[in-house]
């Protein structure tokens, strides 16, 4: 079977949590005789310009990395979550490798657009929430305006606007001018930004785009055949923020007890443990 994994960045250059989990799953599938492909991105550079493609093999996994300069896109704010160019990349790659299943380990940088693009092929699509990117543009659910932890955007999206404004690279005085306004003013701004008249102009574009991220990613993820949450907190927050409960399955990260864990020294990613998500994903495919 051919399996396509997607992740925002990958080994060997990047070796954080999601990258390692993606490798573990891919390597375990590879050891079971499956062909494993990885679609990912890297920051554009002279050696990998924007939109350019580089293929490499990493310990049996076939990796395709796309150079990405978000500032070179037509609309960086929107393309962070809805990037039609990356959707086209996804389609071309799927046509080329003809996978049997797609597992979205992370859609950051690639954008949520790759999910509906994958579903066009009529294949099983699994989405794993390895972090809170789908609920929070900066992933960690900590509001920049108040410093408080967040459970996700409110229905109007006004708390997202507060957080977005607080992170703008402008003077604190300018930001305070907005942040001190009443929530009613923010609600009116959101309503105005969604109006047909505002859509026909560039006025209030940022307001509209920030709020539209919420519904776009919720709808994209609900197109998946399964949504995997590795923790109860993740599961509960996904459901709280509009992900169909019937799609969500709790599957904790696994530990291979046959491997010796060497604490206190740098760990080789190839020896790190496969996730129980592999078993869950295989069981799901067998059900079909």
Residues in the chain: 288
Bridge-based pairing state of the strands 226-229 and 101-104: unpaired
Task: Copy the structure tokens of residue 173.
Answer: 């005085």
| Token pair 């609600």: residue | 187
CATH class name, domain 2-128+251-287: alpha beta
Contact 205, 78 (CB under 8 A): no
- Edge to edge, what strands does the sheet with 2-6 contain? 53-58, 61-68, 35-43, 2-6, 101-104, 125-128, 226-229, 248-250
Q: What is the mean pLDDT of residues 140-169?
A: 88
Three-state DSSP state, 162: helix
Contact 156, 208 (CB under 8 A): no
| Greatest mean pLDDT range, 45-49, 154-158, 198-202 | 45-49
73 pLDDT more than 60: yes
pLDDT in tens, 86-105: 999 999 999 999 999 999 99
| Separation of alpha carbons 121 and 104, rounded Å | 15
Q: Return the domain boundaries, the chain.
A: 2-128+251-287, 158-211
């Amino acid at each position: 079977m051919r399996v396509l994994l997607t992740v925002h960045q990958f080994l060997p250059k990047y070796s954080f949590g999601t990258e390692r989990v993606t490798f573990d799953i891919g390597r375990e599938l590879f050891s079971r005789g499956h062909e494993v492909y990885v679609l990912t991105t890297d920051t554009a550079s002279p050696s990998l310009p924007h939109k350019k493609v580089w293929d490499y093999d990493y310990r049996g996994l076939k990796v395709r990395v796309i150079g990405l300069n978000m500032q070179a896109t037509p609309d960086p704010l929107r393309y962070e979550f809805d990037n039609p160019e990356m959707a086209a990349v996804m389609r071309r790659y799927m046509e080329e490798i003809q996978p049997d299943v797609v597992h979205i380990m992370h859609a950051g940088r690639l954008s949520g657009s790759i999910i509906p693009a994958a579903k066009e092929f009529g294949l099983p699509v699994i989405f794993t929430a390895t972090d809170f990117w789908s609920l929070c543009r900066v992933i960690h659910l900590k509001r920049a305006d108040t410093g408080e932890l967040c459970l996700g955007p409110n229905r109007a999206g006004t708390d997202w606007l507060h957080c977005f404004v607080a992170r703008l690279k402008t003077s604190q005085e300018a930001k305070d001018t907005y942040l001190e306004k009443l929530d009613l003013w923010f609600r009116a701004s959101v309503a105005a930004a969604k109006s047909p008249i505002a859509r026909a102009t560039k006025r209030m574009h940022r307001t509209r785009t920030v709020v539209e991220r919420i519904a776009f990613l919720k709808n994209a993820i609900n197109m998946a055949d399964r949504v995997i949450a590795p923790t109860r907190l993740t599961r509960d927050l996904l459901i709280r923020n509009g992900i169909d409960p019937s799609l969500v399955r709790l599957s904790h990260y696994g530990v291979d007890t046959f491997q010796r864990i060497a604490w206190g020294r740098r760990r080789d990613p190839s020896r790190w443990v496969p996730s129980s998500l592999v078993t869950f994903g295989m069981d799901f495919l067998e059900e079909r």
